[in-house]
Amino acid sequence: MATLSLPTASGKTERYATGEPIEIPKGNAPAFNRIAYAAAHVVADPLADNDPWLDAAVDWERTIAFRHYLWDLGLGVAEAMDTAQRGGGLDWSGARELIRRALEAAKSRSAARICCGVGTDHLDPGAGVTIDDIVRAYEEQIEAIEALGGKLVVMASRALAAAAKSPADYAKVYGRILRQVKEPVIIHWLGEMFDPALDGYWGAPDHARAMDNCLAILTEHAAKIDGIKMSLLSKEKEIEMRRRLPAGVRMYTGDDFNYAELIAGDEDGYSDALLGIFDAIAPAASVGLARLTAGDRQGFHGILEPTVPLSRHIFKAPTRFYKTGVVFLAWLNGLQDHFIMVGGQQSARSILHLAELFRLADKARVLHDPDKAAARMSSLLAMNGIA
């Protein structure tokens, strides 16, 4: 047990004593009765001589080592997604290199699960962008990743959200790309709470109508779709859509507020997982999924439910800043040696936010080494003038 002083909302500090962490599983990577991807972050290179707000510098060795850590725990890797600061510090060129390196690393392991994000982030949204431009942008990234042997996650497009005039434009874009992909893909519906530029996606101002439009596309092209990752932070909407999916199309929960109950499921089915929070709570996710696989639903909830308050804090509005909390936990847990982020986004959350994150991570038992975590937290507080 470690003790340290943490700031409070009152402007004072209080002594805090840590508890015991979850024991990290050892041995061979476990197998689960749910597909579980962790959307993985990138580790910045703190010694790069660059302008962090303008240029991304990635520590490739530590970034790939983190993927192996996830694979060791039985989790899949969702590569070059929002958690990797795709379109928010990491551009398409950097994402393509990340995907290449991660796919190469996966080849060194048996049964390593990996999927890779494709989008249109190299195409700047603007008045002159046409639907055909957007299709070509998707095609360029799809061709590059398929050439590397990667499974595709078709990410939402800011350019399409800006250019589309009706649901028919979405049907046209997705229809054209789905007809030519080599293997079934995962579609990603990323809500506007994660990216305000995606407001009105699928050609509708409200989620109910957007769901109808999306389902029409999924139904028409079901043979080319493995599943859909839904990131709306609403269990009710996810369950409704899950029940309406075409046969054989999976629901991958992207709900970082309600993932435990959605993965556990109900009498009508369950969700698989593709979650940013699994980056931060990987040992708990692994232990919990192992218990669910063994038929111990109570044990699953006993491990996962305490992580939900932590996840809700990390993903609180403005939700797009959640990556700061994910990287902060990786640093606390000794999975990287610094709290520097691509794009300088370590500054996106306040010290009070990070202090509460520390408390909640400890209560969720996801601080791997509480003594090391407390020492690192204390050093950050001292650097910010908090003794």
Q: pLDDT at position 26, please? A: 83
> 187 with 221: CB under 8 angstroms?
no
Q: Answer whether residue 24 shows pLDDT above 90.
A: no
Alpha-carbon distance of 365 to 367, in angstroms, equals 6
Query: What is the reported pTM?
Result: 0.96
Cis before 318 (ω within 30): yes
pLDDT tens column, 132-155: 999 999 999 999 999 999 999 999
Query: Which residue has 């707000």 as its token pair?
Result: 53
**% pLDDT > 70, the chain:** 100
191 pLDDT tier (thresholds 50, 70, 90): very high
> 349 with 223: CB under 8 angstroms?
no
Q: pLDDT at position 387, please? A: 73
Alpha-carbon distance of 381 to 377, in angstroms, equals 6
Give the relative orientation of helices 307-314 and 297-304 as an angle to the nearest 10 degrees. 40
Strands 250-253 and 225-231 turn out to be: parallel
52 pLDDT tier (thresholds 50, 70, 90): confident
**Cβ neighbours, 10 Å, residue 67:** 23
Domain architecture of the chain: domains with CATH: 26-369 (3.20.20.70)
Give the relative orientation of helices 297-304 and 282-293 as an angle to the nearest 10 degrees. 170
Amino acid symbol at 341: M
> 189 with 179: CB under 8 angstroms?
no
Alpha-carbon distance of 323 to 51, in angstroms, equals 19
